[in-house]
Amino acid sequence: MKNKILVISAILILSSAVFFGWGDKGHKIVASFAMKDLSSVMNIPQDWQNYVVDHSVDPDYRKGADKTEPNKHFIDIDYYKEFLEGKMIEDLDSLRMRYSDSVITKEGTLPWAVENTYNNLVKAFTEKNKANILLYMSDLAHYIGDAHQPQHTCLNYNGQLTGQKGIHFRYEISMLDSYVNEINASFEEGKPVKINNIRPFIFNIVTRSNTFVDVITAADKIALQHNGTGKYDETYRKLMWFRTKFFTIDQLNLGGKDLASAIYSAWLQAGSPDLAAIK
């Protein structure tokens, strides 16, 4: 019985990690890029920086224990006709006038999870609460990372609508994990900017990400047709990378830049507290 429970929990953990995240490597890349950029404007203690990189994956591992967690990692924004017509309703209360809570939850709440986490981070900085600052910086790193993964912003998140089941894992873990060195080498230092309003900021990120969904599905088909074996092998991964690397590298770098700007803005909004003095 105990073994059965262990097996079931392992499957649950694996499937949630597969379907709802850059892999651990992708999230840690975004967090570490942000920490590098932040060093020019904020004095974040080194052990805090390490903590945020390590814990940027935590929200994926909370999913099993917390039923409200999984839906915070995505939004199937192309479910909404308002989005397809170019005028997404970004205010949650206004969206609730047209769609039921169960629909909104089912289609994912990522943008509002970012907004809430950002507000919690402002509060934590204001209160100089170290535990909460670390928690919300790490969570923000995760959710902003997810928002840059195109497959976290669409209905066809696993190729289930186009006969390409499993594409989510193939793109964000199987392929990406093979090219981590190339992605890390692409980093160029930048300066965080002040965000005036977090909600349109995050919806712009999601909208941009959504434009790459069809590039991924097309690349998957072409890679499988032309790798000579018709299998998801190393040649498939090479061809997949060949067709997706330009925007994938951009998305991960932009994830770092956007995360740095969000943390920097929350800190400014809280009156720029001296972090080194917080124990």
Please name which of 189, 195, 188, 187 lies closest in space to residue 262, comparing C-alpha atoms. 195
- The answer to whether 157 and 19 have CB atoms below 8 angstroms apart is yes
Phi, psi at 144, each rounded to 5°: -65, -35
Kindly tell me which of 63 and 170 has the beta carbon lying closer to Zn ion: 63
Kindly tell me which of 32 and 269 has the beta carbon lying closer to Zn ion: 32
Question: Minimum Å distance from CB 20 to Zn ion?
Answer: 5
Question: Minimum Å distance from CB 62 to Zn ion?
Answer: 10
Work out the angle between the directed axes of helices 46-55 and 24-38 (0-180°, nearest 10).
150
Q: In the set 63, 73, 148, 257, which binds Zn ion (CB under 5 A)?
A: 73
Question: Minimum Å distance from CB 156 to Zn ion?
Answer: 18
Distance CA 261, CA 114 (A): 13
Kindly tell me which of 115 and 146 has the beta carbon lying closer to Zn ion: 146
Kindly tell me which of 45 and 64 has the beta carbon lying closer to Zn ion: 64
The window from 13-21, 91-99, 182-190, 238-246 that contacts Zn ion (CB under 5 A) reads 13-21
Q: What DSSP line would sit under 4-44, residue for residue?
A: HHHHHHHHHHHHHHHHSSS-HHHHHHHHHHHHHHHTTT---
When asked if residue 146 is in the footprint of Zn ion (CB under 5 A), the reply is yes
Question: Minimum Å distance from CB 195 to Zn ion?
Answer: 21
Kindly tell me which of 76 and 227 has the beta carbon lying closer to Zn ion: 76
Distance CA 127, CA 270 (A): 9
Binding mask 30-69 for Zn ion (x = CB under 5 A): ------------------------------x---------
Nearby residues of 11 by Cβ (< 8 Å), 6 or more positions away = none
Nearby residues of 256 by Cβ (< 8 Å), 6 or more positions away = 29, 30, 31, 32, 33, 34, 36, 37, 187
**How many residues interact with Zn ion (rule CB under 5 A)?**
5
What angle is formed at CA 59 by the lines to CA 263 and CA 220, rounded to 5 degrees? Answer: 95
Q: In the set 16, 19, 21, 56, which binds Zn ion (CB under 5 A)?
A: 21
Question: Minimum Å distance from CB 244 to Zn ion?
Answer: 19
Kindly tell me which of 135 and 224 has the beta carbon lying closer to Zn ion: 135
Kindly tell me which of 68 and 229 has the beta carbon lying closer to Zn ion: 68
Binding mask 175-194 for Zn ion (x = CB under 5 A): --------------------
The window from 19-27, 211-219, 224-232, 243-251 that contacts Zn ion (CB under 5 A) reads 19-27
Distance CA 206, CA 61 (A): 23
Please name which of 249, 119, 123, 103 lies closest in space to residue 176, comparing C-alpha atoms. 249
- Which positions lie near Zn ion, rule CB under 5 A? 20-21, 60, 73, 146
